[in-house]
Amino acid sequence: MLILLVFLFISFSNTIFCLNANLNELKSYRFVEKYVLMNEKKLIIIREMTFYDEEEFYLCLDPEKLNTSLIKKTNYILLDKKDFTNSLYWKVKTHFLSNQNTIAEVKKNEKITNHFRILLTTDLCPSTNKMDYDFYITIKDIERVSSFSIPFIIFFSGKWIEIHKDDLMWLKTNNLNFLAGNHTYHHHIIKDEFSEEKLITEITNTELMMIKNGIVPSCFFRFPGLKYKKENLNVLAKLNLIPLGVNFWIGQKFIPENSILLVHSNGKMKVEVNMFKKFTRGFKAKLTDGNIRFLSPDEWLKMSLQ
């Protein structure tokens, strides 16, 4: 169990890695929500942290690109929240709160099309199995065929990171274009007794484990087993996280026009990886002519919210 070095100041009013290898001894870690102008760019500061060498950093969210960056403490100008209401982040947050569900849950009567726009995701749930490298090698194969980088999200559980150092190093050193999503620490399925405090702890411990291992946490979150309670969405909004669901399981015959595809790569779902390889082989022509497009999260969300 991680020691939770957190001071909870929650007010209700391309892959980026930590460049400094010593950024692993956290003294404090705070949830904040500050709308700022920093280095002539609008950002949202969502975490503030101090390390034992007294260095201070901000985890900043780009409200349009939806990527995050770890920035050493610097001067900024506070802005009004209303200056961000037309941003993509604000629209996405409003969407999942008003609909009271995660982004891209399975719907009946979705539009059928031959033009697929896919947000590719993979979950690294806790497992003692070796990571399924074939999934990532297949992505590299697609890149060679299509001549462009494939963006995707890896949803890490903190427990997986803890016991898979070699696999994690491989992910960090093979030029993969991923964002690091949060899949909680222990991957407990949310049930009635699952408190808000427990959910926050599971999320925070995973973020701490990411930072300790040189990964910058993104703003994306996936519930274990895709199970949640409506009030859990409010917790995520307070933490400035976006909950993504799944509406495309590899192997299904019907593919929604705007798909979030999940392929498990934690070594326990080899059949999914094999089907993903078959899928990419079967649609090789569509990949090359653009009828199948793997989109970045911001591109996918812009299209999906139209």
Task: Tell me the pLDDT tens digit for each residue of 209-219.
Answer: 999 999 999 99
Give me the mean pLDDT over the 250-263 stretch: 87
Phi-psi bin for 303: left (phi > 0), alpha (psi -120 to 50), beta?
Answer: alpha
pLDDT at 10 over 90: no
| Best CA proximity match to 134, nearest among 269, 260, 5 | 269
Q: Is the pLDDT of residue 165 over 90?
A: yes
Give 109's pLDDT tier (boundaries 50, 70, 90): low
Judged by DSSP in three states, 110 sits in coil
Mean pLDDT within 3-22: 42
Does pTM surpass 0.75?
yes
Residues 192-208: tens digit of each pLDDT? 788 999 999 999 999 99
* Cα–Cα dist 224/173, whole Å: 27
Domain boundary assignment for the chain:
26-84, 88-304
Q: Which of 47, 50, 84, 87 is nearest to 68 (CA)?
A: 47
> C-alpha 154: how far from its chain's center?
6
Task: Give the pLDDT confidence score for residue 230 in this predicted structure.
Answer: 93
Fold of domain 88-304:
TIM Barrel (3.20.20)
- CB within 8 A of 81, min separation 6: which ones? 35
User: Does residue 189 register a pLDDT over 90?
Assistant: yes
* Res 50 pLDDT > 90: yes
Query: Which residue, among 299, 296, 291, 293, has the nearest Cα to 115 in the 3D structure?
Result: 291
Neighbours of 110 (CB within 10 A): 14
Angle at 196 between CA 191 and CA 199, to 5 degrees: 70
Query: 230 vs 108, 187, 234, 295, CA distance in Å?
Result: 21, 18, 8, 28
Q: How many residues does the chain have?
A: 306
Beta carbons of 200 and 239 less than 8 angstroms apart: yes
Q: pLDDT confidence of 254, banded at 50, 70, 90?
A: confident
Does the structure show a pLDDT above 60 at 9? Answer: no
Cβ within 8 Å of residue 63, ≥6 positions away: 42, 43, 44, 84, 87, 88, 89, 90
pLDDT at 81 over 70: yes
Alpha-carbon distances, residue 57 vs 74, 131, 217 (angstroms): 8, 31, 13
Residue with tokens 């859990």: 232
What phi and psi, each to the nearest 5 degrees, are found at residue 191?
-125, -175
In which band, very low, low, confident or very high, does the pLDDT at 13 lie, cut at 50, 70 and 90? very low
91-211-71-60 Cα dihedral, nearest 10 degrees: 10
111 or 94, higher pLDDT: 94
> Which backbone phi and psi does 130 adopt, to 5 degrees?
-65, 145
Q: Domain 26-84, what fold?
A: SH3 type barrels. (2.30.30)
Which among 20-29, 97-106, 178-187 has the top mean pLDDT?
178-187
Percent of the chain with pLDDT over 70: 89
Structure tokens at 58: 């901000």
Q: Is 1 a residue whose pLDDT tops 70? A: no
Tokens 């947050």 belong to residue: 93
Q: Among candidates 184, 257, 253, which has minimal Cα distance to 224?
A: 184
State how far the Cα of 224 lies from the Cα of 189, in Å rounded to an integer. 6
Q: What is the mean pLDDT of residues 5-28?
A: 51
* Dist. CA 175–CA 156, nearest whole Å: 18
Reference 96, options 276, 232, 225, 268; nearest CA is 232
- Percent share of the chain, pLDDT over 90: 71
| CB 17 within 8 Å of CB 24 | no
Range in 38-47, 48-57, 85-94 the model is least confident about? 48-57
pLDDT of 2 reads 40
More confident residue, 3 or 128: 128
**Given this model, what pLDDT does residue 29 score?**
94
